[in-house]
């Protein structure tokens, strides 16, 4: 649960944006870096970015995953088989990408205030849990061995994973006076309506080709559309994810305001 001390890690003004590139998967995720650098240089306000995966299904891996020769072979092989492989800045292992995946990114300046990664994970997960409550879904955080990109701050529903989270801290203290101004990226990946069997197969194939023993179990994951008791009705993956994205962005306007944070215009 978020504490009052955790909330002090958030800037007093934040923009909620839905900037995305639906045609270029790598550029879409790299927008986090671009925006983060602008936040660090004080060229734009701190950002909560709600965005959808681009229209090419595949997986997202960490830089570490493709740092070896076998990792590069795995990437090129899957891409040759019509599975997009994008590389993200945050750590962890592979996650599903494509229509039906919703992302949430915090892009915040690094400040002298003492903070921990745990604090930012709580700030990321607690609003998501509150938002899910609005769908009649009770969620919690915890590790789940066998799930994709497993970690202490998975968002779980009835023992299955709905959201994966990761972080990256870049540079030093933010501000134009710093030679290497920095930012904090805290990121969540939520499956709204994904073919989890296909995604799991691709993730496991990637790690097999990369000569890595890591494997994922399809049964550990679940989709929001499955949990939301008809909330998305006959909507397809694209429509359901857009609906969820708009709902989440609207929720964040209210959540931040109630936390005493002014929501300002973004880019």
Mean pLDDT for all residues in the chain: 95
Reply yes or no on whether the pLDDT at 148 is more than 90. yes
Total domains in the fold of the chain: 1
- In angstroms, the CA 186 to CA 166 distance is 6
pLDDT tens by residue, 181-234? 999 999 999 999 999 999 999 999 999 999 999 999 999 999 999 999 889 999
197 three-class SS: helix
- In angstroms, the CA 119 to CA 219 distance is 29
Q: Both tokens of residue 145?
A: 């061995």
Reply yes or no on whether the pLDDT at 176 is more than 90. no
pLDDT tens by residue, 17-52? 999 999 999 999 999 999 999 999 999 999 999 999
Q: Both tokens of residue 81?
A: 């088989």
Q: Which residue's entry shows tokens 């494997």?
A: 215
- In angstroms, the CA 228 to CA 225 distance is 5
Helices (H), 66-133: 69-80, 117-133
Question: In which domain, by residue range, is 131 found?
Answer: 4-264
pLDDT tens by residue, 74-132? 999 999 999 999 999 898 999 999 999 999 999 999 988 878 999 999 999 999 999 99
Q: Both tokens of residue 152?
A: 């202490």
- In angstroms, the CA 146 to CA 128 distance is 22
Q: Output the pTM of the full model.
A: 0.95
Angle at 90 between CA 36 and CA 15, to 5 degrees: 30
pLDDT for position 267: 60
Reply yes or no on whether the pLDDT at 239 is more than 70. yes
Active site residue 149: yes
- What CATH number is given to the structural domain containing 59? 3.30.930.10
- In angstroms, the CA 91 to CA 189 distance is 13
Catalytic residue, candidates 9, 83, 149, 189: 149
Using 50, 70 and 90 to split pLDDT, how confident is the model at 3?
confident
């Amino acid at each position: 649960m978020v504490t009052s001390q955790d909330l002090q890690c958030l800037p007093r003004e934040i923009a909620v944006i839905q900037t995305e590139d639906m045609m270029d998967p790598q550029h879409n995720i790299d927008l986090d870096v671009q925006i983060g650098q602008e936040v660090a240089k004080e060229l734009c306000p701190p950002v909560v970015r709600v965005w959808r995966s681009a229209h090419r299904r595949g997986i997202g891996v960490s830089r570490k995953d493709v740092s070896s020769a076998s990792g590069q072979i795995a990437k090129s092989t899957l891409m040759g088989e019509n599975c997009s492989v994008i590389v993200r800045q945050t750590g962890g292992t592979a996650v599903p990408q494509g229509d039906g995946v919703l992302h949430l990114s915090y892009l915040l300046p690094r400040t002298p205030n003492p903070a921990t990664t745990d604090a930012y994970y709580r700030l990321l997960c607690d609003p998501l849990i509150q938002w899910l409550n609005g769908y009649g879904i009770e969620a919690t955080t915890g590790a789940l061995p066998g799930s994709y990109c497993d970690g202490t701050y998975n968002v779980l529903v009835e023992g299955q994973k709905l959201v994966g989270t990761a972080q990256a801290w870049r540079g030093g203290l933010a501000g134009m006076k710093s030679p290497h101004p920095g930012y904090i990226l805290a990121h969540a990946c939520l499956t709204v309506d994904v073919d989890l069997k296909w995604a799991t197969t691709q993730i496991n194939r990637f790690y097999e080709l990369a000569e890595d023993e890591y494997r994922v179990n399809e049964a550990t994951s679940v989709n929001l559309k499955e949990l939301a008791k008809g909330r998305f009705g006959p909507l397809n993956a694209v429509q359901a994810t857009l609906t969820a994205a708009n709902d989440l962005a609207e929720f964040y306007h209210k959540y931040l305001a109630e936390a005493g944070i002014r929501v300002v215009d973004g880019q």
